[in-house]
Amino acid sequence: MASELNKLTIGEASSKLRAREITATRLTRDCLDRIAAVEPKLHAFITVCEPEALEQARAADARLAAGNAPALCGIPLGIKDIYATSRVRTTCASRILENFVPPFDATVIERLRADGAIFVGKTNMDEFAMGSSTENSAFGPTMNPHDTARVAGGSSGGSAAAVAAHECLGALGTDTGGSIREPASFCGVVGIKPTYSRVSRYGVVAYASSLDQVGPFARSVRDAAIILRTLAGPDGRDSTCSARPVPDYERALTGEIKGLRIGVPREFFVEGMQPEVENSVRAALDNYRSLGASTVEISLPHTGYAIAAYYLVATAEASANLARYDGIRFGLRVNAEDNIALYESTRAKGFGAEVKRRIMLGTFALSAGYYDAYYLKAQKVRTLIRNDFERAFEKCDLIVTPVAPTTAFKIGEKMNDPLTMYLSDIFTISLNLAGLPGMSIPCGHDSNNLPIGMQLIAPPFAEETILRAGDAFERTGAFKPRSPAV
Amino acid sequence: MNREAYEAVIGLEVHTHLLTRSKLFCGCSTTFGAGPNENVCPVCMGMPGVLPVLNRRAVELAIRTGIAAHCEIARYSIFDRKSYFYPDLPKGYQISQYETPICKGGYIDLPAADNGEPRRIRLTRIHLEEDAGKNIHGENFSLVDFNRSGVPLIEIVSEPDLRSAEEAGAYLRQLRAILRYVDASEGKMEEGAFRCDCNVSVRKRGAKEFGVKAEIKNLNSFRFVEDAIEYEVGRQIEVVEGGGRVAQETHLWDPARRQTRPMRSKEYANDYRYFPEPDLPPLIVPPELEEQVRSSMPELPADRKARYVRELGLTDYEAGVLVADRDVSDYFEATLPDLKNRKSAANWVMTEVLRVARDSAEPFADAVPPAREVGALLRMVEEQKISLNAAKTAFAAMVEKGKGAEATVAELGLAQVSDEGAIAAACDKVLAAEPEKVAEYRAGRDKLFGFFVGAVMKAMGGKANPKVINEILRAKLKG
């Protein structure tokens, strides 16, 4: 009979590993067995790293036996396939990188390795992180573990689904406009997008450099805090990475939020929102008040411009970031009679429709004569959005909103309507534009048993506030996430 | 065609490698001559996920150059991405500086040309950027070497202040001298470390407005710059004289045919889609950093020239020749410590040393004997141990065989004899052998004195100290 160690939280597993009640090998084996059982239904992984993971597990067991191992030693994680991992291919869910094996590790991969974490596989995603449903993966979509006819969210859908379905204990995602928070919400797990610059981006395949941020998925706030602590901190290889010291996030989880001032932005409770989503978030706010927090209505007046600004800034940066996939040095090459034809045929074959759409949009936005009207204007909007938040945080310590206007939608439902798809990120995108930290935690279910997520937002580098408030909510037991149907 | 009725208006954009050990955004070596793709890493190969980290030394060298060229150093500047597709450009964009260069304004003074005035050429800007790799084309394949990818460059842009091909050449030489003095660049053209784009137009002499300019791209030697400008100015005057209009286009110089030819618009009509590089924070140069660089500046050619005139008593011309090349100037100074006569050392370096350097294919330092040996040789002349002619013979042998001054003089037996007894004996012999000439001299034929000196010198095998011969002969002939 399976021991089902894969259902443990990271906190629980870590204690048992260090007490030598369980082994990393057993824990990893259970995750791999679970992967083998559910992957045909979920497709959360692009590449499963069974032999590598078991080898890492053996090394972790040796280290655990020696004592003094870090908290993540022996913990099986899923890694979004956007992180450079030496010896294991990094596809970014694109044909153009289908067989690309990086010659180096991303900084966060290096840090997790140093702590003895185990990588069970590379998770599915929207191609180059462009999408909100993981349907843009060149290798097929990821199904939601709560209802396999529905999307897992995106772009980090594979990581969210894998954690929800107990294929691993935690995972890494990236968030450019909501790509951690929206799938966390859809799959009923915790997902954190830290402050921009809190975590090194070195070795993370770039989509939109000024918006991309690395973050963890987990099944509890505490677990997410444990992973984040290893990820965060200065990196000499990323000049945009903050030099601020990293607090011990776990110590912030006091359960004490008396006096916390919670802002509720009126612009985030809009017409057309699924009523169950609003109800769940409002119920959570009641809960916070009962814990001694106060709520105050605030306004973020430029929220309505966020999506437009995002799709100019993100696509402009992407158009340059993706220029390196030219068939010359690595990845797919489709030969042709000259350079230009080689680029054209390689990129035509290698990129999917959404990636091409965003490259064209960004190229256009940066073209001579349009720069001021589009890119520059969008940057000004960004400043206005940042100012909105700064003003709001004069009145409150934390902002609470829904993560997405709806719960997980049906696979295929929005694929032919990119603009509707873009609206899935309406509540998450402004944080990336402002560089703020945000977390999605489960706060309810809709009538179809689909998870609903609540978003906690704090000022730059106030991750501790988010974690404390999220953990306090979990402790009330007001809402117990259900195990997925799979 | 009346060329004299026109004047050329020229602005130059010079790209030169900075002398850093590592590349602009990664730790790879900048050494020239490594095997293909040996000096590369994921960063300068543009691998997915990599990020640039700015080289501090490159920033300091750019600031040094800016200070030397009297620029304003920007407190705040940013890097931009310049996008275009080319196989040698790994990221599909070059990290450069567009709207906010690190150095603004400034000027370079040119010494007066023959029968002319000194000229001040204003600079528009100096900015930092990374170089691309190099394509190598075979018959039916192409290869790319990324060793050069990411090597730091500065681009120095002048105002359209130059008025002739010669002036452009003088500007480039002056610029190169400055770059070498501040250790910013070696200005080695053969290694692709120097490239120049020229903007050229012509107008009627005295006209205020500029003519339509053409750009000549990618010239990699001073000579090509001068030739291309000369050709292009002539071509444009012909077009205008013929009633035509100069087309605003980009040209390439064909050194074999000694002509410019327009590039196809496809070859240069890029929309570079500049936007701020999000992977690099703004480059902030606090006043303390500028001050630190300023206080560590080496002596610049203009200052050194003034010092030579003031302290060493050299003429303006002599000082100018010596400081034109930092290697030569440093060499000259290294000959000085034990010498009293600085002027003769200057002359020696300007004539003997520079001739040897010119005739050699080797770099200056390898072509000429060590400066301290030349100093030792000149000291022997000063101390009258050897004659000036003997010194020239010895110098040639030192160049040839590579031995030191003392050893060479000894080996060739060039030491002068100053022993009065020996010289007096030789004088006696000569006078005894020529009684008639002695009589004629004493009767007033002064010119014969030279004959006696020559005869004594010959008898002494050319090694006698001529001053001593003179004294003894004069005394004896009075007799």
User: Pairing relation of β-strands B283-284 and B76-77?
Assistant: antiparallel
List the 260-299 stretch of A: residues with Cβ below 8 A of B: none
In a shared domain, residues B244 and B335: no
Q: Is the ipTM above a cut-off of 0.90?
A: yes
* pLDDT score of B403 more than 50: yes
The answer to whether A14 and A69 are in contact (CB under 8 A) is no
Tokens of A10: 């990271």
Please tell me if residue B52 touches chain A, with a CB cutoff of 8 Å. yes
Q: What length is written for chain B? A: 479
pLDDT of residue B448: 87
The answer to whether A423 and A304 are in contact (CB under 8 A) is no
B397, β-bridge pairs: none
In a shared domain, residues B94 and B238: yes
Average pLDDT, stretch B436-462? Answer: 87
Residue B266's domain spans which residues? Answer: 3-292
CA distance B209 to B186: 37
The answer to whether A486 and A42 are in contact (CB under 8 A) is yes
CA distance A464 to B385: 86
Q: Of B370, B389, B412, which residue sits at a domain end?
A: B412
Q: Phi and psi dihedrals of B40, rounded to 5?
A: -135, 160
Query: Is the model more confident about B260 or about A361?
Result: A361
User: Pairing relation of β-strands B275-276 and B107-110?
Assistant: unpaired
The answer to whether B454 and B438 are in contact (CB under 8 A) is no
* Shortest CA gap A1–chain B (Å): 42
Could you tell me which chain B residue has the CA closest to the CA of A85? B49
Taking the alpha carbons of A149, A153, A158, A162 in that order, is the dihedral positive or negative? negative
> What is this structure's pTM?
0.90
* CATH code of the domain in which B437 resides: 1.10.10.410
The answer to whether A421 and A131 are in contact (CB under 8 A) is yes
Q: Of B365, B381, B412, which residue sits at a domain end?
A: B412
pLDDT above 90: percentage of residues in chain B: 62
pLDDT of residue B417: 77
Strands of A75-151, DSSP E: 76-80, 118-123, 143-144, 147-151
CA distance B217 to B224: 11
Chain B interface mutation, best of A83, A128, A313, A324, highest count of B Cβ atoms under 10 Å: A324
The H-or-E segment that residue A22 falls in is: none
Class of residue B245 by CB neighbours under 10 A (exposed 0-12, middle 13-18, buried 19+): exposed
Residues of A in contact with B51 (CB under 8 A): 201-202, 237-240
Which residue type, as a one-letter code, is found at position B34? A
pLDDT of residue B192: 65
Residues of A in contact with B279 (CB under 8 A): 206, 209, 239-240
* Shortest CA gap B255–chain A (Å): 26
Which residues, 6+ apart, have CB-to-CB distance to A173 below 8 Å? Answer: A80, A155, A156, A159, A160, A179, A180, A183, A191, A214, A215, A216, A217
Average pLDDT, stretch B269-293? Answer: 94
Q: Phi and psi dihedrals of A199, rounded to 5?
A: -120, 140
In a shared domain, residues B269 and B399: no
Residues of A in contact with B273 (CB under 8 A): 319-320, 363, 366-368, 371
* Shortest CA gap B158–chain A (Å): 25
Could you tell me which chain B residue has the CA closest to the CA of A200? B51
Instruction: State whether residue B12 is helix, strand or coil.
Output: strand
Residues of B in contact with A90 (CB under 8 A): 48-49
In a shared domain, residues B223 and B123: yes
pLDDT of residue B113: 77
Segment B305-344, tens digit of pLDDT: 999 999 999 998 999 899 988 899 999 999 999 899 888 8
* pLDDT score of B479 more than 90: no
pLDDT tens, N- to C-terminus, chain A (486 residues): 457 999 999 999 999 999 999 999 999 999 999 999 999 999 999 999 999 999 999 999 999 999 989 999 999 999 999 999 999 999 999 999 999 999 999 999 999 999 999 999 999 999 999 999 999 999 999 999 999 999 999 999 999 999 999 999 999 999 999 999 999 999 999 999 999 999 999 999 999 999 999 999 999 999 999 999 999 999 999 999 999 999 999 999 999 999 999 999 999 987 778 999 999 999 999 999 999 999 999 999 999 999 999 999 999 999 999 999 999 999 999 999 888 999 999 999 999 999 999 999 999 999 999 999 999 999 999 999 999 999 999 999 999 999 999 999 999 998 888 878 888 899 999 999 999 999 999 999 999 999 999 999 999 999 999 999 999 999 998 888 888 988
CA atoms within 13 Å, Cβ hemisphere of B24 = 23
- Residue A352's nearest CA partner among A286, A425, A415 is A415
Pinpoint the alpha helices (H) of B151-272. 165-181, 222-241, 265-268
- Residue A39's nearest CA partner among A105, A123, A128 is A123
DSSP for A439-454 reads EEEEEEE-TTS-EEEE
CA B210 to chain centre: 31
Tokens of B59: 């920033």
Q: Phi and psi dihedrals of B188, rounded to 5?
A: -85, 110
Q: A159 catalytic, yes or no?
A: no
In a shared domain, residues B321 and B451: no
Segment B129-178, tens digit of pLDDT: 999 999 999 988 899 999 999 999 999 999 999 999 999 999 998 999 89
- Residue A109's nearest CA partner among A136, A94, A88, A137 is A88
Average pLDDT, stretch B107-124? Answer: 89
pLDDT of residue A275: 94
* pLDDT score of B74 more than 90: yes
Whole-number average pLDDT of chain B:
91
The answer to whether B119 and B135 are in contact (CB under 8 A) is no
**Binary contact (A323, B83; C-beta < 8 A):** yes
CA separation, residue A481 to residues A91, A450, A470 (Å): 32, 10, 14
* pLDDT score of B128 more than 80: yes
The answer to whether B45 and B91 are in contact (CB under 8 A) is no
In a shared domain, residues B152 and B253: yes
- Tell me the CATH number for domain A5-258+461-476: 3.90.1300.10
Q: Please measure the distance between the N-terminal and C-terminal CA atoms of chain A and give it in whole angstroms.
A: 18
pLDDT of residue A1: 44
Which residue type, as a one-letter code, is found at position B348? W
Tokens of A159: 């990581």
* Shortest CA gap A269–chain B (Å): 32
In a shared domain, residues B170 and B36: yes
* pLDDT score of B114 more than 80: no
Question: Which own/partner pairs from B429-433 qualify as long-range (CB within 8 Å, at least 24 positions apart)?
Answer: B429/B459, B430/B455, B430/B456, B430/B459, B431/B476, B431/B477
CA distance A112 to A27: 17
Q: A133 catalytic, yes or no?
A: no
Please tell me if residue A210 touches chain B, with a CB cutoff of 8 Å. yes
Q: What angle do CA B261, B266, B268 make, to 5 degrees?
A: 70
Residues of A in contact with B28 (CB under 8 A): none
DSSP for B343-393 reads HHHHHHIIIIIHHHHHH-SS-HHHHS--HHHHHHHHHHHHTTSS-HHHHHH
Please tell me if residue A94 touches chain B, with a CB cutoff of 8 Å. no
In a shared domain, residues B316 and B276: no
Please tell me if residue B137 touches chain A, with a CB cutoff of 8 Å. no
The H-or-E segment that residue B312 falls in is: helix B301-312
Residue with tokens 């206007």: A405
Q: Phi and psi dihedrals of A441, rounded to 5?
A: -130, 145
Q: Of B379, B394, B412, which residue sits at a domain end?
A: B412
CA atoms within 13 Å, Cβ hemisphere of B476 = 23
The answer to whether B423 and B459 are in contact (CB under 8 A) is no
Residues of A in contact with B47 (CB under 8 A): 84, 102-104, 324, 329-330
Residues of A in contact with B50 (CB under 8 A): 202-203
Please tell me if residue A240 touches chain B, with a CB cutoff of 8 Å. yes
Which residue type, as a one-letter code, is found at position B449? F
pLDDT band at B255 (very low <50, low <70, confident <90, very high): confident
The answer to whether A397 and A261 are in contact (CB under 8 A) is yes
**Range name among A465-479, B280-294, B303-317, B419-433 with the lowest pLDDT average:** B419-433
Segment B15-51, tens digit of pLDDT: 999 999 999 999 999 998 899 999 999 999 999 999 9
Segment B381-398, tens digit of pLDDT: 898 888 888 899 999 999
In a shared domain, residues B190 and B278: yes
- Count CB neighbours of A485 within 10 A: 12
Please tell me if residue B262 touches chain A, with a CB cutoff of 8 Å. no
* Shortest CA gap B269–chain A (Å): 12
Chain B interface mutation, best of A94, A128, A325, A326, highest count of B Cβ atoms under 10 Å: A326
Which residue type, as a one-letter code, is found at position B240? V
Cross-chain CB nearest to B279 (options A90, A92, A239): A239
Could you tell me which chain A residue has the CA closest to the CA of B91? A324
* Shortest CA gap A199–chain B (Å): 14
Instruction: State whether residue A87 is helix, strand or coil.
Output: coil
Q: A299 catalytic, yes or no?
A: no
Torsion, Cα B367 B368 B371 B373, to 10 degrees, reads: 130
CA distance B213 to A66: 75
Residues of A in contact with B274 (CB under 8 A): 366, 371
Instruction: Give all strands of the β-sheet with B275-276 in edge-to-edge order.
Output: B93-96, B80-83, B275-276
Which residues, 6+ apart, have CB-to-CB distance to B242 below 8 Å? Answer: none
In a shared domain, residues B347 and B382: yes
List the 141-160 stretch of B: residues with Cβ below 8 A of A: 144
Which residue type, as a one-letter code, is found at position B229? I
Total count of domains within chain B: 3
Residue with tokens 């990020």: B51
Of A179, A185, A242, A430, the catalytic one is A179
Pairs of residues, one from chain A and one from chain B, whose beta carbons lie less than 8 Å apart: 109
Chain B interface mutation, best of A240, A241, A321, A376, highest count of B Cβ atoms under 10 Å: A321
Of A14, A132, A155, A185, the catalytic one is A155
Residues of B in contact with A82 (CB under 8 A): 49
pLDDT band at B189 (very low <50, low <70, confident <90, very high): low
Average pLDDT, stretch B92-121? Answer: 92
